[in-house]
Structure 1
Amino acid sequence: MEKDNLFMSAEDIARVTGMSEQYAYKLIKQLNSELEAKGYFTIRGRISKQYFEERFYGITE
C-alpha cells in the first residue's frame, strides 16, 4: 500500500490485518454500504483509508 494512497484494496486490508482477502472483500462491502447510506459515493472493491482506520481501529483525526 502506498503511503499517499487514499483508498485501500482487499489485498491491502488483508496484509495489514492478517485476515483473508475474501473476508476483506466482505468488510469493504459492508463499509461501503455504510458510506452509501450516509450519501457518499463509493468505489467497488476499495475503501477510503481514513474511513477504514476510523471504523476498524477507532482512529480519528
Structure 2
Amino acid sequence: MKTNYMIGVEEVSEELGVSKGHAYKVIRELNDELSRKGFIVVAGKIPRAYWETKFYGYNSEPVAM
C-alpha cells in the first residue's frame, strides 16, 4: 500500500474541521515557512511529514513512556 507523500486541501480541511478556504490559508502559511527554509514547495499541498510535525509534534525519535 502506497502512502501519499503530500497532503492536500481536502485532507487538511477534514483534519482541522475548517472550510477549504481556511485550509488553503494554512497550507500557504506552511509552504511559506518551508520556502523560507530553502525547500521547494507545491501550491495547495504540504509534505505529510511536515504536517504531522507541525500539528501533532511527531518527530523521527520515538518518545519513551
Q: CA deviation at 1:33?
A: 0.4
Give 1 or 2 for the bigger CA radius of gyration. Answer: 2
Long gaps (5+) in structure 1: none
Letter in 1 for 2:36: A
Long gaps (5+) in structure 2: 61-65
TM-score normalised by the chain length of structure 2: 0.83
TM-score normalised by the chain length of structure 1: 0.88
Compute the RMSD of aligned alpha carbons: 1.5
Q: CA deviation at 1:60?
A: 1.2
Deviations 1:10-34 (A, max 9, x none): 1111112211111110000000000
Query: Which consecutive segments of 4 or more residues in structure 1 shift more than 4 A?
Result: none
